[in-house]
Amino acid sequence: MGQGTTASTAPVEVKVCAEFGQLPVLRAVAETIAVLADFNLDDVSDIKLAVDEVCSQLIKGAVGGAELVCTFRVSGLTLEATARTDTVTDTVPDERGFGWHVLQTLTDTITVDRRPPEHDTTGHRTTIVFTKTAGGDA
């Protein structure tokens, strides 16, 4: 492999309105980062699908007017993606649903963190982090 195996890269952060119309932008950024890090086509597809599912679940549960922030980091052979927004309830994402099962299949690790929001007294700051290793078994 090329760049992905030699050194860590600086994180890339994208901030968009938490709206479904922004999903193509987020998928494109994830795809570009994975391709530049020399992930194979199957891994790139898994990353795009995982970003789409994570962000879709966050957008679906987002507080009106919320911002969705996605951060991508590549370190060696591993891409880490973080997505966060303020959600209406603390049950986003539904970790019992089919989408969550798909995410567990597409990624090597996935975690959820829920906290009170930073600037508002309503809702919850929900963060989902997943990793995908190039050539991994996920």
Per-residue pLDDT of 71-121, as tens digits, reads 999 999 999 999 999 999 887 888 888 989 999 999 999 999 998 766 656
Per-residue pLDDT of 26-80, as tens digits, reads 999 999 999 999 999 999 999 999 999 999 999 999 999 999 999 999 999 999 9
d(CA 85, CA 103): 18
CA of residue 128 relative to chain centroid, distance: 6
Phi, psi at 10, each rounded to 5°: -65, 145
- Give the pLDDT confidence score for residue 109 in this predicted structure: 97
- Give the pLDDT confidence score for residue 136 in this predicted structure: 67
pTM of the model: 0.88
